[in-house]
A and B are shown apart, each in its own frame.
Chain A
């Protein structure tokens, strides 16, 4: 079992839809949770960063962590074609080895 599991998709939605991206993790020691966005032929870009459980909102993006169920979510409201990218969840314990999910490819159709 991988430490961070993520459905690779692809996920295709119409413009304006609410997108829900999810990951599960197995290591109870994980304390830091991130979402990276990766456009084609570019490096992963840090999108959201949360510590422990709870929600964090930034514009149209909301990151949610439920440590009791080991579930990580990213919600995108009013999705735009420019949101089309691969989204990677990631976790680390506070040490320095970050574990990445496989990434979910998202397509937002105009």
Chain B
């Protein structure tokens, strides 16, 4: 079975540019999560969706970050404008109901 698919795997861009990260959850999963991982702060939950509806976005660090889930098989996380401190690995995860989450392999983002 296909797992959570994220793209791109790596992104290098200059400060001020718009960055869009993409995620395809596991088919049939009704929850989707976006995380950011850094050495200093570990895994941080940014936002999660249930049935395509954002439920909790309290982890989104600033208004520069936005996330959408237009349908059950696709979500985006956008940063505009990007800053060097946004450099991190961004993970998408999905789950069914109250079950443990399954993660993608992440997008390694570097903002120069």
Q: Is A71 an interface residue (CB 8 A)?
A: no
Q: Report whether A45 and B31 are in contact in the complex, using a CB–CB cutoff of 8 Å.
A: no
Surface stretch bound by A, among B11-19, B61-69, B70-78, B94-102 = B94-102
CB-based contact A97/B91 at 8 Å: no
Beta-carbon contact of B103 and A43 below 8 Å: yes
Interchain CB contact under 8 A, A42 and B102: no
Task: Report the count of interface residues on A (CB-CB < 8 A).
Answer: 22
Contact of B42 among A45, A92, A102 (CB under 8 A): A102
A94 within 8 A of B: yes
User: Do residues B4 and A46 form an inter-chain contact, with CB atoms below 8 A?
Assistant: no
Residue B45 contacts which of A36, A44, A97, A102 (CB distance < 8 angstroms)? Answer: A97
**Docked CA distance A90–B95 (Å):** 15
Classify the interface of chain B: helix, strand, loop or mixed: strand
Bound Cα distance A98, B98 (Å): 10
* CB-nearest residue of chain A to B45: A97
User: A32 to B98, Cβ gap below 8 A?
Assistant: yes
- Point out the residues of chain B lying under 8 angstroms from A90, CB to CB: 100
Interface string of A59-100 (1 = CB under 8 A from B): 000000000000000000000000000001010101111101
Q: List 28 A-B contacts (CB under 8 A).
A: A32-B98, A36-B103, A41-B108, A42-B105, A43-B93, A43-B103, A43-B104, A43-B105, A43-B106, A45-B103, A46-B100, A46-B101, A46-B102, A49-B100, A88-B43, A92-B98, A94-B98, A95-B98, A96-B50, A96-B95, A96-B98, A97-B45, A97-B56, A98-B101, A100-B43, A101-B42, A102-B42, A103-B42
Where the two chains meet, the residues of A that have a C-beta atom closer than 8 Å to any C-beta of B are 32, 34, 36, 41-46, 49, 88, 90, 92, 94-98, 100-103
Given contacts A100-B43, A102-B42, 17 further A-B contacts (CB under 8 A): A34-B100, A36-B103, A43-B91, A44-B43, A44-B91, A45-B103, A46-B101, A49-B100, A88-B43, A94-B98, A96-B31, A96-B48, A96-B55, A96-B95, A97-B45, A98-B45, A101-B42
